[in-house]
Homo-oligomer: A and B are copies of this chain.
């Protein structure tokens, strides 16, 4: 009775404590570290909270404890299918935990990333997930100075800020080219769009593989800074054909481009794989049902996001992983579009680091 209620009529921690017959601070502890309470008080607080329908006020908690329960996520794109899989993994992992996700889109700009980073850091996030390893020096400094766990995702490189999870785009591209070599292809073109750092490294892998074989020619490479799309794949392939009519295979920096190339081949009545082989990157769901089915390099996108968030949360809660850098690997999924035998979908080359576990990608799961 004597208690004044907040104007919103909300239940406060004090009410719960009163009903449970304990002090507010004890009730508070129940929500943060139940083990610290005696069993008797624990059950009393629990039932009192349930009875009143108590929901903690996160703003008050954040203010008092000087830290938030927010995980900041910086990704370069919301459109790209690749990131929606990663994101789904992150959100799934965060569910059930007490952390919430704060997402921001850098639009492939490291300057924008720096700005957002500054914004995030000012709110003292519990943890941070950032895409890639190409931060500005300023961003890098901020990340290193940050007093929260950080995971870099999407690729593996030297000098992790903290934790890191991804795979080598360079090696993956080399594996794709090796597969094409194995199928007897020699004049292999490269088609790439957007040309963000990861696509760039795929190009580097392609170039090195081709050079190793003494087959590299600059004219085999067609790229653009334009955002990727299926239509663009067709257009870039058209360019490539004009420059190098004699090519016998195309390695596409992603699957949308590969699909565009496939359609363009159909339009031009170029037989795939007899005249031109096609290899994509990411192994999106549609690759397996295209006609012909399309070879691609499978990447563990969902698992990348999911593991990153899981590791981050563990680290926040003080259980740092014994293995802070995790290589999730990749796998060349050989399908009809690059098979001289027109076999269907059995795995070919597989590259990986320490932890190359291939899990079923729950594509289109929800």
Contact = CB atoms under 8 A, between A and B. Distances in A.
Interface in A96-144: 100-105, 107-108, 119, 122-124
A262 B227 CA distance: 26
Contacts of A88: 78-79, 105
A172 B57 CA distance: 44
Given A78-B91, A102-B100, A285-B230, A55 B122 contact: yes
Interface string A202-231: 000000000000000000000000011111
Bin chain A's interface residue count: 35 or more
A365 to B, nearest CB: 6
Interface in A30-50: none
Interface in A50-70: 55, 57-60, 62-63, 66, 68
A80 to B, nearest CB: 8
Interface of A: 7-8, 55, 57-60, 62-63, 66, 68, 76-81, 84-85, 87-88, 91, 100-105, 107-108, 119, 122-124, 227-231, 233-234, 256, 259-260, 263, 266-267, 285-286, 288-291, 363-366
Given A79-B363, A231-B288, 16 more contacts: A8-B124, A55-B119, A59-B68, A78-B84, A78-B87, A79-B364, A79-B365, A81-B81, A105-B366, A229-B286, A229-B363, A230-B290, A231-B289, A260-B289, A263-B289, A266-B291
